Amino acid sequence: MARHWIGVELGEHAKTHCHPRLKKVIQGEQGGISKSVNWKGGGGFKFYELASSLLNQDSFGNWVMSKEYNPTMVAAAVAKQEGFRYFPDEHIYWKQGKSSEKDFIYTTTQFVTVEILDKIKDEMQPDESLLIACKAFQQECDNRFSNITIKKIPQMLLGRCEFGKDDYSLNIVNMPRDEAFDEESYETDEPEMNETEERKSTQQGIINFFDTDE
């Protein structure tokens, strides 16, 4: 059916209820709505857990890389943020990820000097480009080569998303009631739905809201 869904859950029930339920649906179990619509199984899903914040503020209010991230995790996270696919080359260390066959990214926590930059440049092909993300670099490195862009982390990441926050629990409150609206006096010309029809209508509404056909 070429339908794509995304579900976002907060809490352990994502593991204890949602994940097992999805597995059963794919396997074709005949409980609940699956039996009613004669579902036979199929499809698939990916289950992801959000990592902790990549950036945190130190005691002076400066943004720094989280200690929970090792260099490999930092490189993968920065590549993702910059639109690169993290796929380290087996032989060339600075080819950590790529956005195309000729465009690469290199993330390092070391201080980048002119000597390091020149060495990388000597290894590059004329039609290749490179983005270097580092904690600091020698001033002379900036704009030294037209096909090499160098940026500082974490400054280059600020503003991309909300860092320094790991708790996204929702503060759910009751919506204010409109006293001018009386539920008992609300009338409609549509016939009243029974429980089965109401469930199908609700499910169809969800499908129409989230469904994307390719």
Q: What are 120-166's pLDDT values in tens digits?
A: 999 999 999 999 999 899 999 999 999 999 999 888 887 777 777 76
Question: Nearest 5°: phi and psi at 56?
Answer: -135, 160
One domain for residues 39 and 95? no
One domain for residues 88 and 139? yes
Q: In terms of residue numbers, what domain contains 199?
A: 13-49+168-210
One domain for residues 176 and 150? no
* pLDDT score recorded for residue 10: 81
* pLDDT score recorded for residue 132: 97
**How many structural domains compose the chain?**
2
C-beta of residue 25 within 8 angstroms of C-beta of residue 32: no
Question: Nearest 5°: phi and psi at 149?
Answer: -110, 135
Q: Confirm whether 8 is domain-assigned.
A: no
One domain for residues 43 and 66? no
One domain for residues 109 and 153? yes
3-state secondary structure of 210: helix
Structure token pair of residue 41:
């199984």
Question: Which long-range contacts (C-beta less than 8 Å, at least 24 apart) are formed by 124-127?
Answer: 124/148, 127/102
Q: Confirm whether 5 is domain-assigned.
A: no
159 Cβ neighbours under 8 A, 6+ residues apart: none
Q: Confirm whether 162 is domain-assigned.
A: no
212 Cβ neighbours under 8 A, 6+ residues apart: 3, 4
Q: pTM value?
A: 0.60
